Structure 1
Amino acid sequence: MSSQSSADLADWSACDLLEAYAGKTVSPVDVARSVIARIESCEPRIHALYAFDPDEALRAAQESEERWLKGAARALDGIPATIKENIATRGTPVPLGTAARPLKPAAEDAPPAARLREDGVVILAKTTMPDYGMLSSGLSSFHPLARNPWDPSKNPGGSSAGAGAAAAAGYGPFHIGTDIGGSIRLPASWCGVFGLKPSFGRIPIDPTYYGRVAGPMTRNVCDAALMMTSLTRPDMRDPMSLPYQDLPWLDLDIDIRGLRIGLMMEAGVGLDLDPEVRAAVERAAQAFADAGAIIGEVKPFVTREMLDGLDDFWRQRAWMDIASLRDEERAKVLPYILKWAEGGKALTGAHVYSGMNQMMVMRHAAVAATHPFDFVLSPVAPNVAYDAELASPIHDPERPFEHIGYTVAFNMSDQPAASVNAGFTKAGLPIGLQIIGRRFDDVGVLRLSKAWEEMCPEARAWPKGLRQDS
């Protein structure tokens, strides 16, 4: 197999790589070397990775090349990928972003990692996350501070912090994050990449929990669709997963004419919407209207009572984890997270139950508000990327969720929702457009996202400021 320039190969899409592998014009080994070189150039500043193992990646790439040469290639053979730290990979500890946990190697791959490995994907590394995954930030007591490739003084978002940064920086085409309140969509928005929070249960995951999903984070919609062909295969370890469906993931055509698309510009609670974010989302809605969609208003439905109830429930759940630690272990938890979790220490059972019930109220409200429409558009967040050193946009553990009003309800309602880039601020920071589908219409969300990707009037070259070759 012949090689091409490493700078080019690191930025190739998975779809293009598979075609080149099949035609024997590009080698998985050359691609792995190129991506490793990109990582070694950028990683000292953005800190997206954990357990990076270039020697193992090259060994896997060599095995992939041999399968391609023998005509025995697997479905995604030789595509480089990263996997979020909280998704277990055999032999690698799972610290969950906190210095408080023992570093015990995982016994086996969790379902998303297992599916990709079965299909020949080259796993480069794990990606960083904040303590217990409970921040929209790259701030961690265990990992170095993750930064945004578009502007290293800014946050990549979280909790799939490293995944968003790795995708934007060109650490291979495939990245997996997890999302329980916005943890795929927020970093996708702030890093300018595509992120899909699939329907709850669409991708088997272990351990599973209310609203928790794994999903692809990529530079384009087609690569995410390609990942879904693998990630959605069944796994008995997830008792909350959906029945497997062989869906047409790679059929991304859609006729926009006549689609009923809702526009939700106000979250109903939390931070005020940044004017530049508002303008970008309104431009997207107008573009869909010009293409023949019927645009209608979605009134805000998330209330203060809902968001505070969710906060109570998650504080208490976090405190249950942290309270069991020894004093010396608890002292290692990120102070912001510890202070937030301690807010659940004195909550009564009735108070926590009421908070959990508000999550169900949110679920019903989300489905009711979006039901009249085929899809709904909204901002992903009211703000763009904020200072890297902050745990949240307002950095206040007493008001931790003021920025997730647009995202969290669709975790509770099980609906698929994606972040796709809608443009940039005057300062050059990415802005995300959220596309929400009806329950279980993951393919529809991918299709409308692909349509927007082609319609979006503003496209920019991927950030190069961190690279030695820039």
Structure 2
Amino acid sequence: MTPHELTTLTAADLHAGYAAGDFTPTEATSAALEAAAFGGAHLNAVASLHADEALAFADASTARWRQGAPLSDLDGVPVSIKDSFPMVGHQRWHGSALADGLPPSTHNGAPVRRLHEAGAVPFVKTSMPDFGLIGSGISSQFGIIRNPWDPACNPAGSSSGAAALLAIGAGPLAMGTDTGGSVRVPAAMCGVVGLKPTQGRVAYDPPKIIGVAGPMARTVADTATLLRAVGRPDPSDHLSLPGVFDGDGSPIDDLSGLTVGVFTAIPGPVPVDPEILAAVDRQAEILAAAGATVTRVDSPMATEDEWAAMTAVLMTRGLPELLRMPPEAWDVIPPGLRAGMLAFRDLSAVEHVRNEKALEAARAVIAGRLQAFDYTLAPATAVVSYAAELEAPVVDGHAVNHMAFSSPFNLTHLPAGSVPVAMSASGMPISVQVGGQRFDDAGVLAVMALLERERGFAPAYPYALGATAGARP
């Protein structure tokens, strides 16, 4: 197969091809590296790329396949790793130029260790915005990260480079992280699949109270395969859940007896894009036709005060990353983030605890709204696209909180995923978000797979190694 053809394959396709001897992990990884190099040069999607290291992992996998002894379904499959994860020998910038000069990591994060145990090939680290605290692809270290469907547009964040590389075929799988939507929103903007698992489903070191590691792919089935590899406990994370995830991402056909709550509004003056609302309506019809009882409900995050409490806590928690450097270095940080963090610089300990308590109170209310249903359906984002240079979408002069649909699931530790279901008139992908009950990651993926199957088309991804120059992003 040609390098272009290899970059269009799913993880399942690669596994089958290795088993049949049609091609090798070394060939697939070489193609992924070539696509990633393009994504780094043209989309600023790459944090670090050690080709010799990746090819050594791939060569070892090729030898295992020739011996008929692969380690797992992911043996030899290229997987990109977000910059926020430690990875031996690679710098961890956490998206920020403030980390320049720090030594490379000396250990692998828990998900990276799980991938090595499965024989997968972590072949590149992907770029992200500063500290993962911006929902856009703006980074003081990597520059403006761009959306491959239209490089003038934003891929969102903070798993910005991960989503962009998936869309151009630089590996079929990616590991991202999600604190307020950082897997699901960039996945939606780039037309790929992203899952925020139940909190603790994927071990994450250091342990997080809100943030999770999440799998990303171009198909729901591949997303499930990646979660099977990394969805297990680890001693480094005392908050990780027991047991091993074992769902396969197959679509559910019968939703009889199950309830689905549909919410389409967010706090603030800007309405959701009509094309997105139409896509949600169509998915609600599909779920109802499968037997679900579908009910329209108010947004689980119903007030701007609830979002303000989350913002205050996240900015305060992120502030030490800024304050560890002298003030003269702060100018490199994107201005909106810098101002947002410094607004809480003089917060007293009592005021911070007050904000934490306000967030806990909001969490309880939001959980009650979401847990009234077996599943929920909502937009994954409020806008179809926005300019690459912006720290947040702006519509009619108003900043749009495009993570308001995703963040309730972080607060409540519930699983949720985004799946592309339509294309906009502008040629950009449109996704919806499916949420579920705690521990029901498999059920969420099954509903997502149903919508994926029923959408009636395969996204025409802008592969970097297209047959013609016109196929490149």
TM range (shorter): over 0.9
The amino acid across from 1:295 in the alignment is V
Give me the whole-angstrom Cα distance separating, in 2, the residues matched to 1:57 and 1:270: 48
Q: State the Cα deviation string for residues 322-353 of structure 1 (Å, max 9, x = none).
A: 12312343343333321111111122333322
Aligned ranges for residues 45-60 of structure 1 at < 5 Å?
45-60=42-57
Displacement of 1:126 after TM fit?
A: 0.2
Query: Is the Cα contact below 8 Å between 2:255 and 2:291 reproduced in 1?
Result: yes
For structure 2, the 5+ residue unaligned runs are none
Give me the whole-angstrom Cα distance separating, in 2, the residues matched to 1:88 and 1:12: 27
Q: Indicate yes or no: 2:6 matched with 1:18.
A: no
Give the aligned partner of residue 25 of structure 2: 28
Displacement of 1:54 after TM fit?
A: 1.9
Query: Is the Cα contact below 8 Å between 2:249 and 2:446 reproduced in 1?
Result: no
Q: Indicate yes or no: 2:70 matched with 1:73.
A: yes
Q: Indicate yes or no: 2:144 matched with 1:145.
A: yes
More displaced 10-residue stretch of structure 1: 18-27 or 183-192: 18-27
Give me the whole-angstrom Cα distance separating, in 2, the residues matched to 1:177 and 1:241: 17
Displacement of 1:110 after TM fit?
A: 0.3
Displacement of 1:149 after TM fit?
A: 0.7
Q: TM-score, normalised by structure 1?
A: 0.94
Change (3 A) 1:170 1:326: same
Q: Choose from 73, 95, 98 the match for 1:97.
A: 95
Q: State the Cα deviation string for residues 377-435 of structure 1 (Å, max 9, x = none).
A: 0011211221001111139xxx9772221111110100000000121211011112000
Query: Is the Cα contact below 8 Å between 1:393 and 1:403 reproduced in 2?
Result: yes
Aligned partner of residue 91 in structure 1, secondary structure: coil
Displacement of 1:64 after TM fit?
A: 0.7
Give me the whole-angstrom Cα distance separating, in 2, the residues matched to 1:296 and 1:186: 24
Q: State the Cα deviation string for residues 253-295 of structure 1 (Å, max 9, x = none).
A: 4422332111111134464211111111111111221232211
Aligned ranges for residues 257-276 of structure 1 at < 5 Å?
257-269=256-268, 271-276=270-275
Give me the whole-angstrom Cα distance separating, in 1, the residues matched to 2:81 and 2:87: 8
Q: State the Cα deviation string for residues 112-166 of structure 1 (Å, max 9, x = none).
A: 1110111111111100000111111111110132110110000011000001101
Query: Is the Cα contact below 8 Å between 1:98 and 1:130 reproduced in 2?
Result: yes
More displaced 10-residue stretch of structure 1: 168-177 or 329-338: 329-338
Give the aligned partner of residue 106 of structure 1: 105
Q: Indicate yes or no: 2:2 matched with 1:5.
A: yes
Give me the whole-angstrom Cα distance separating, in 2, the residues matched to 1:206 and 1:380: 27
Displacement of 1:373 after TM fit?
A: 1.6
Q: State the Cα deviation string for residues 360-379 of structure 1 (Å, max 9, x = none).
A: 12321222112232100001
Aligned partner of residue 156 in structure 2, secondary structure: coil
Give me the whole-angstrom Cα distance separating, in 2, the residues matched to 1:30 and 1:322: 42
Displacement of 1:23 after TM fit?
A: 1.8
More displaced 10-residue stretch of structure 1: 134-143 or 41-50: 41-50
More displaced 10-residue stretch of structure 1: 237-246 or 69-78: 237-246
Q: State the Cα deviation string for residues 211-236 of structure 1 (Å, max 9, x = none).
A: 11001110000101101111012210
Give the aligned partner of residue 279 of structure 1: 278
The amino acid across from 1:97 in the alignment is G
The amino acid across from 1:373 in the alignment is F
Give the aligned partner of residue 38 of structure 1: 35
Change (3 A) 1:291 1:65: same
Query: Is the Cα contact below 8 Å between 1:185 and 1:197 reproduced in 2?
Result: yes
The amino acid across from 1:182 in the alignment is G
Give the aligned partner of residue 188 of structure 2: 189
Aligned partner of residue 139 in structure 2, secondary structure: coil
Q: Indicate yes or no: 2:231 matched with 1:226.
A: no
Q: State the Cα deviation string for residues 27-66 of structure 1 (Å, max 9, x = none).
A: 1111112222323444421121111122222222111101
Give the aligned partner of residue 323 of structure 1: 323
For these two proteins, the number of residue pairs brought into alignment is 465
Give me the whole-angstrom Cα distance separating, in 1, the residues matched to 2:288 and 2:309: 37
Give me the whole-angstrom Cα distance separating, in 1, the residues matched to 2:49 and 2:467: 20
Give me the whole-angstrom Cα distance separating, in 1, the residues matched to 2:350 and 2:166: 43
The amino acid across from 1:83 in the alignment is I
Give the aligned partner of residue 342 of structure 1: 342
Give me the whole-angstrom Cα distance separating, in 2, the residues matched to 1:376 and 1:271: 22
Displacement of 1:192 after TM fit?
A: 0.6
Q: Indicate yes or no: 2:358 matched with 1:361.
A: no
Aligned ranges for residues 439-454 of structure 1 at < 5 Å?
439-454=438-453
Aligned partner of residue 112 in structure 2, secondary structure: helix
Aligned ranges for residues 201-220 of structure 1 at < 5 Å?
201-220=200-219
Give the aligned partner of residue 304 of structure 1: 304
The amino acid across from 2:315 in the alignment is R
Query: Is the Cα contact below 8 Å between 1:311 and 1:401 reproduced in 2?
Result: no
Q: TM-score, normalised by structure 2?
A: 0.93
Give the aligned partner of residue 237 of structure 2: 238
The amino acid across from 2:223 in the alignment is A
Query: Is the Cα contact below 8 Å between 2:4 and 2:465 reproduced in 1?
Result: no
